[in-house]
Amino acid sequence: MELRELLKRLKDLGGSDLHLVAGLPPAVRVHNELTILRDVGRPTPEQMREMIYPILAKEEIERFENDPHFRYDLDFARGVADLGRFRFNLHKQRGSLSCTIRALSGSIPSLESLGLPPGVRDFTASLRGLVLVTGPGGSGRSTTLASLVDEINHQRSARIMTIEDPIEYQLKGINQVQARPEIELTFANALRAFLRQDPDIILVGEIRDKETAEIAVKAALTGHLVLSTLHTNDAPSTINRLTNMGVEAFLVTASLLCVLAQRLVRRICDQCKEEFRPSPELLKAVGIPPEQATTLFAGRGCESCHGTGYRRRVALYELMKVTDRLRDAIIEGASATQIKQLAMAEGMITLRQAGIRKILQGMTTPEEVISQTVADDR
Ligand SMILES: [Zn+2]
């Protein structure tokens, strides 16, 4: 059993993770389903060590041998870099070495291919301020940020520094730092260190706590363009998330340029896409007036989409620009609902509205949009 062969299988299947446990057949996660590789057999503890030890440094092997609670994340494995980028999560299971390998994305998609709202570029052209990309885990936030930073890097000569966890994309000519909380290299500590090195642009993987939020805001106010992500459901609720973390409202309004919320929905399979007549109930549930859509599209299910009717995914975006009127409302302590209404009045396309556009374009289905976004008339 060879690690390289298994990693190739992971890539060929388009999987996200490969699970290796002694005594069990290897398994690959493709979307949400586990594919068991029955043909390669079950690795023994000895075979597990033979596969994994060569990618480790000597001291890492010693740690594994001596620590019964061994747990280790490895981002730069030796000898397999030509196959792509992987994150190895190693741990001991019943005394034997186990491993979950995550395939990290390789090349950075262009802003065009992501279909970002055109206004986003105006903000990333700014010399100072805070740009936030929000959404739940797996919504493509890091991909969007990496593309934005990559484009900025090509457009102007700027000193760019990043602190990430994990580093998902290699950005050419950019100083990327992997966060390592176990040695105090947290987002907040890295940000503090960066500010002493005078960068123009800073990417912070995620704002999770008050400390990181405050330094990010401070950096944005003192002449840096700061890009980061936050785990919120939509763009308007990001404001309250920041103030609930303890950032003063006036600092939010002074620093924040825009918030881009995003979601990924499944794209209808091109091979088996067909028209159907939606029921009035379905149209009402998603919020499409009946006269706008006598027919919609869905995938019937075929071999190339494994019978699901969907292949690949498409992003929905909600871009909230922090305008003067919005700033006033934030200072006055407006609720997320009030901020949303105001932003919509100022032209914001919501996630649900973006989803409806994609339904009418035949790219996704009402069911997908209903499951990933909330109605706007809350
Ligand atoms: Zn299909």
Residue 76's pLDDT is 65
Q: What's the 295 CA to ligand 1 centre distance in angstroms?
A: 19
- pLDDT given for residue 234 in this prediction: 95
For the chain, what's the residue count?
A: 378
At residue 107, φ and ψ (nearest 5 deg) are -85, 150
pLDDT > 90? residue 91? no
Residues sharing a CB contact under 8 Å with residue 188, sequence separation 6 or more, in sequence order = 209, 211, 212, 215
Out of 109-118, 229-238, 321-330, 355-364, least confident range: 109-118
Give the whole-angstrom CA distance, residue 123 versus residue 255: 12
> Which stretch of 99-108, 258-267, 350-359 has the lowest confidence by average pLDDT?
99-108
Summary mean pLDDT of the chain: 91
CA of 378 to the centre of ligand 1 (A): 35
d(CA 360, CA 353): 11
Q: How far is the CA of 367 from the centre of ligand 1 (A)?
A: 17
Give the tokens for residue 53: 């030890």
Span from the CA of 272 to the centroid of ligand 1 (angstroms):
4
User: Quick check: 66 pLDDT over 80?
Assistant: yes
Query: From the CA of 266, how far away is ligand 1's center (Å)?
Result: 12
Alpha-carbon torsion, ordered 14, 310, 168, 8, to 10 deg: 0
40 compared with 285, residue with greater pLDDT: 285
Ligand 1 centroid–CA 298 distance in Å is: 9
Average pLDDT over every residue of 44-69: 87
Res 194: pLDDT: 94
Structural contact between residues 214 and 247, judged by C-beta atoms closer than 8 angstroms: yes
> What pLDDT does residue 133 have?
97
> How far is the centre of ligand 1, averaged over its atoms, from the C-alpha of 313 (Å)?
13
Beta-strand pair 175-178/160-164: parallel
Going by C-alpha positions, the residue among 186, 132, 148 that lies closest to residue 164 is: 186
Q: Rounded to an integer, what is the distance from CA 321 to the centroid of its chain?
A: 21
Give residue 355 CA to ligand 1 midpoint distance, Å. 21
Q: Decide if pLDDT at 74 tops 80.
A: no
Per-residue tokens: 376: 């706007």
CA of 268 to the centre of ligand 1 (A): 8
Q: What pLDDT score does 1 carry?
A: 81
Please say if the pLDDT value at position 166 is more than 70.
yes
Beta bridge partners of 29: 17, 34
pLDDT of residue 106: 67
285 pLDDT exceeds 70?
Answer: yes
Q: Token digits for 55?
A: 């990618």
Q: What is the 3-state secondary structure (H, E, C) of the chain?
A: CCHHHHHHHHHHCCCCEEEECCCCCCEEEECCEEEECHHHCCCCHHHHHHHHHHHCCHHHHHHHHHCCCCEEEECCCCCCHHHCEEEEEEEEECCEEEEEEEEECCCCCCHHHHCCCCCHHHHHCCCCEEEEEECCCCCCHHHHHHHHHHHHHHHCCCCEEEEECCCCCCCCCCEEEECEHHHCECHHHHHHHHHCCCCCEEEECCCCCHHHHHHHHHHHHCCCEEEEEECCCCCHHHHHHHHHHCCCHHHHHHHEEEEEEEEEEEEECCCCEEEECCCHHHHHHHCCCHHHCCCEEEECCCHHHCCCCEEEEEEEEEEEECCHHHHHHHHCCCCHHHHHHHHHHCCCCCHHHHHHHHHHCCCCCHHHHHHHCCCCCC
What pLDDT, on a 0 to 100 scale, did the predictor assign at position 223?
Answer: 94
Please give the structure tokens belonging to residue 110: 């262009």
What is the arithmetic mean of pLDDT over 315-328? 97
Each residue's pLDDT tens digit, 11-52:
888 788 999 999 999 999 877 678 889 888 999 999 999 999
- Reply yes or no on whether the pLDDT at 304 is more than 90: no
- Lowest mean pLDDT across 9-18, 72-81, 292-301: 72-81
Confidence bin at 275 (pLDDT 50/70/90): very high
